[in-house]
């Protein structure tokens, strides 16, 4: 009996220790994946680093709140938010209609076009479009022509992307009839198959691929065709919070606006992506 | 493969990977222990005279063995968190979230599933002990406890060991799935390392070797234990 009493006291202690109130907080916990360089990654001594890690520090300073950043695997990153393990997510998460049904977003802080990547020797030399950017939600005649070129050149080819991403949704919606889509659980597996020629092209985020192509590992690849944004490709990357925490989302949006105004956001983007992937207006 | 990445210290991932392996071992042992307790209880209920007890144990083993471990983890971790939060709101009022530590959650999820398999193995081992021996023990007036200690226990251990060794291996490998809840074990550590360095091959190969190391060492242990348990039996 005595043991039972002690055990229940200990158990209660564990539960109440981790009991965290969400309303009126002065300290927030932000989750990131910690494995998506250069957005967010871990160094060998276990510290988090990257664009979003530095941005989080800057935003929280502007908001006047204390914060802690924790790593969380991408699988289950939204359910854990809803279960109250942390209060916000900054993990290269693009704002989409579907995700909005589960979480609230701040305004976007980065927008990165999606591009097609092929092996250098694979050519696709005929793939020339007159525009270098396509905005899918407000498509004009030239952009429409460019889409037609894409769908003709990729006809019958195998295109890879990461599963459950905006790129997969775009492929299904726009090229689903003419290409075979192959989905991968990780960026690494996708890249290995592109390298080995099992797929003809990959669709991915420019923020990942531009620094990658400049590195040793990316020497064999090149970008072809225009960069695509909006529509199924989402409204940029934002901070995700629980749907009830609209106040917190508002605080983040305000801080992001300030960081855009004084140039901090653009400076951080160029530092980590080597090109300016930050939100503008 | 870039081996310099695997060094120890600030620039190498070697010490992080080893720490991951230690966590895998720790959570496996905890889950396996929980599994044996649940398994023994399950076997006891399955062999009970009472229909309700048998039904209860059958429901447990059927459901847990029938659905994937990953699903159990999702249900317990995410569903359980939300449920605990509702209960705490009811009991203490106010809004908030209740979180069990990830280690405890992970151990419970894996132990829960390991227990269902263990129950079947232990039940089989109990049935393998000839009924006549129990009757004889009863006839000379042994108490149930003495019967368990002298007759059932040692023989059940012997019959159950090979099966339990199998379950240990399963349990050890199933812990790779709790990386989704944020516990940094081998799998999560190698995903983080490969995502951060863009060297997936190096780290997943090391992860494989670490698992292999853990399973082969424990295999040796189980073979010894089997020999030890069988020392009173003449080999044919």
Mean pLDDT score of chain B, rounded to an integer? 88
Q: What pLDDT, on the 0 to 100 scale, is given for residue B97? A: 67
- B170 against A97, higher pLDDT: B170
pLDDT reading at A129 higher than 80: no
Is the Cβ of B18 closer than 8 Å to some Cβ of chain A?
A: no
Phi-psi region at A19: left, alpha or beta (left = phi > 0; alpha = psi -120 to 50) = beta
Contacts of A162 in chain B (CB under 8 A): none
Task: Write down all domains in chain B, each with its CATH number in brackets.
Answer: 3-229 (1.10.3720.10)
Under an 8 A CB cutoff, do B100 and A14 touch? yes
Residues 6 or more apart from B70 whose CB is under 8 A from it? B177, B180
Would an 8 Å CB–CB cutoff place A71 in contact with chain B?
yes
Inter-chain residue contact A42 with B179, CB threshold 8 Å: no
Closest approach of B131 to chain A, Cα-based (Å) = 36
B181 and A76 within 8 Å at the Cβ level: the answer is yes
Of A20-34, A51-65, A179-193, B153-167, the one with minimum mean pLDDT is A20-34
Give the CA count within 13 Å in the CB-facing half-sphere of B25: 15
Residue-averaged pLDDT of chain A: 86
- Mean pLDDT, range A135-144, rounded to an integer: 84
| Chain B neighbors of A12, CB-CB under 8 A | none
Say what the pLDDT of residue B140 is: 93
Q: Is B10's CB within 8 Å of A44's CB? A: yes
Within 8 A of B180 by CB-CB distance, chain A residues are 73, 75-76
10 Å CB burial of residue B212 (0-12, 13-18, 19+) is exposed
Q: Is B44 on the interface with A (CB under 8 A)?
A: no
Instruction: With beta carbons less than 8 A apart as the criterion, state whether B143 and B129 touch.
Output: no
Interface of B with A in 192-231 (CB under 8 A): 192-198, 200
Cβ atoms of A184 and A160 closer than 8 Å: yes
What confidence tier does A75 reach under pLDDT thresholds 50, 70, 90?
confident
Residue A274 pLDDT exceeds 90? no
> Which tops the pLDDT comparison, A34 or A124?
A34
Q: Which of B177, B200, B173 is nearest to B188 (CA)?
A: B177
The token pair at B123 is 């039940």
Look at B198 and A14 and tell me if their CB atoms are within 8 Å: no
What pLDDT sits at residue A12?
53
For residue B18, give how far its alpha carbon lies from the nearest alpha carbon of chain A (Å): 13
* Most B CBs within 10 Å, among A12, A19, A70, to test the B interface: A19
The pLDDT of A173-178, averaged and rounded, is 90
- CATH class of domain segment(s) A114-233: alpha beta
Looking at the domain covering A25-111+235-273, what would its CATH class be? alpha beta
Model pLDDT for residues B211-232, shown as the tens digit of each residue = 999 999 999 999 999 988 888 7
Reported confidence tier of residue A18, pLDDT bands at 50, 70, 90: very low
Higher pLDDT, A20 or A238: A238
CB within 8 Å of B64: residues ≥ 6 apart: B72, B112, B113, B115, B116
B13 vs A contacts (CB less than 8 Å): 44
CB atoms within 10 A of CB B197: 19
Q: Pick the more confident residue, B2 or B126.
A: B126
pLDDT band at A22; cut points 50, 70, 90: very low
* B94 min Cα distance to partner chain A (Å): 8
Minimal CA separation from A162 to chain B, in Å: 14
- By the 8 A CB rule, do B195 and A41 touch? yes
Q: For chain B, positions 124-183, list CB contacts with chain A under 8 A.
A: 179-182
Write down the domain spans for chain A: 25-111+235-273, 114-233
Tell me the CA distances in angstroms from B193 to A165, B12, B198, one per residue in order.
22, 10, 8
> What would the pLDDT profile of A78-92 be if each residue is shown by its tens digit?
988 988 889 999 999
* Candidates B97, B102, B186, B203, partner chain A, best to mutate (most A CBs within 10 A): B97
| Residue of chain B whose alpha carbon sits nearest to that of A76 | B180
Tens of pLDDT, residues A228-248: 988 888 888 999 999 999 999
Of A15, A41, A212, the CB nearest to B195: A41
Q: Choose the closest CB to A19 out of B98, B179, B180.
A: B98
Q: Quick check: B194 and A80 CB within 8 A?
A: no
User: Percentage of chain A with pLDDT > 70?
Assistant: 90
- Chain A closest-CA separation from residue B106 CA (Å): 14
Q: Rounded to a whole number, what is the distance in Å from the CA of A20 to chain B's nearest CA?
A: 6
- What are the two backbone dihedrals, phi and then psi, of residue A249, each rounded to the nearest 5 degrees? -60, -40
Model pLDDT, residue B102 = 83
Chain B residue with CA closest to A71: the answer is: B182
What does the pLDDT look like over B7-48, one tens digit per residue? 777 678 888 899 999 999 999 999 999 999 999 999 999 999
pLDDT at B147 over 80: yes
pLDDT over 90 (residue B105): no
CB atoms within 10 A of CB A169: 17
pLDDT at A36: 87
- Considering A10-24, B92-106, B147-161, the range whose residues carry the highest mean pLDDT is B147-161
Chain B partners of A192 at a C-beta cutoff of 8 Å? 200
pLDDT digit string, tens, across residues B36-86 = 999 999 999 999 999 999 999 999 999 999 999 888 888 888 777 777 777
CB contact under 8 A, B179 and A217: no
Please name the residues between 68 and 127 in chain B that touch chain A, using a CB distance below 8 Å. 74, 77-78, 81-82, 84-85, 88, 94-101, 104
């Amino acid at each position: 009996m005595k043991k039972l009493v002690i055990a229940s006291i200990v158990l209660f202690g564990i539960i109440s220790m981790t009991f965290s109130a969400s309303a009126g907080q002065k300290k927030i916990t932000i989750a990131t994946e910690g494995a998506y360089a250069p957005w967010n990654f871990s160094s060998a001594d276990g510290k988090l680093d990257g664009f979003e890690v530095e941005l989080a520090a800057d935003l929280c300073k502007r908001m006047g709140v204390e914060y802690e950043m924790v790593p969380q695997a991408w699988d289950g990153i939204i359910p854990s938010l809803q279960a109250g393990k942390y209060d916000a997510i900054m993990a290269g998460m693009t704002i989409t209609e579907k995700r909005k049904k589960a979480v609230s977003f701040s305004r976007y802080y980065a927008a990165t076009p999606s591009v097609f990547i092929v092996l250098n020797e694979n050519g696709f030399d005929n793939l020339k479009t007159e525009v270098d950017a396509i905005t899918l939600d407000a498509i004009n005649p030239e952009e429409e022509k460019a889409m037609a070129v894409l769908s003709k050149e990729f006809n019958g080819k195998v295109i890879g992307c990461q599963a459950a991403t905006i790129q997969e949704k775009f492929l299904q919606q726009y090229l689903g009839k003419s290409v075979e889509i192959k989905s991968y659980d990780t960026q690494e597996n996708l890249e290995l198959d592109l390298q080995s020629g099992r797929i003809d092209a990959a669709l991915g985020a420019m923020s990942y691929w531009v620094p990658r192509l400049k590195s040793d590992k990316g020497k064999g690849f090149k970008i072809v065709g225009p960069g695509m944004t909006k529509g199924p490709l989402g409204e940029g990357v934002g901070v995700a919070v629980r749907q009830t925490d609209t106040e917190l989302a508002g605080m983040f949006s305000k801080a992001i606006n300030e960081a855009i105004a004084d140039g901090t956001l653009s400076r951080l983007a160029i530092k980590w992506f080597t090109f300016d992937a930050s939100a503008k207006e | 493969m870039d081996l310099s990445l695997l060094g120890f210290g600030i620039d190498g991932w070697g010490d992080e990977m080893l720490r991951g392996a230690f966590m895998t071992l720790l959570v496996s042992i905890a889950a396996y222990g929980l599994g044996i307790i649940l398994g023994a209880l399950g076997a006891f209920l399955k062999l009970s005279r009472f229909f309700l007890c048998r039904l209860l144990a059958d429901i447990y083993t059927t459901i847990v063995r029938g659905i994937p471990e990953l699903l159990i983890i999702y249900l317990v971790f995410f569903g359980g968190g939300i449920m605990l939060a509702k209960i705490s709101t009811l009991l203490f009022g106010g809004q908030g979230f209740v979180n069990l530590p990830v280690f405890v959650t992970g151990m419970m999820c894996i132990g829960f599933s390991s227990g269902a398999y263990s129950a079947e193995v232990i039940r089989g081992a109990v049935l393998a002990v000839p009924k006549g021996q129990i009757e004889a023990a009863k006839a000379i007036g042994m108490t149930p406890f003495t019967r368990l200690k002298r007759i059932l226990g040692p023989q059940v251990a012997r019959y159950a060991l090979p099966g339990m060794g199998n379950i240990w291996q399963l349990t050890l490998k199933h812990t790779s799935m709790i990386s989704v809840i944020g516990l940094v074990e081998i799998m999560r550590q190698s995903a983080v390392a490969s995502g951060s360095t863009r060297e997936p091959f190096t780290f997943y190969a090391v992860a494989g070797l670490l698992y292999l190391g853990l399973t082969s060492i424990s295999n040796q242990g189980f073979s010894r234990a089997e020999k030890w348990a069988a020392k009173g039996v003449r080999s044919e």
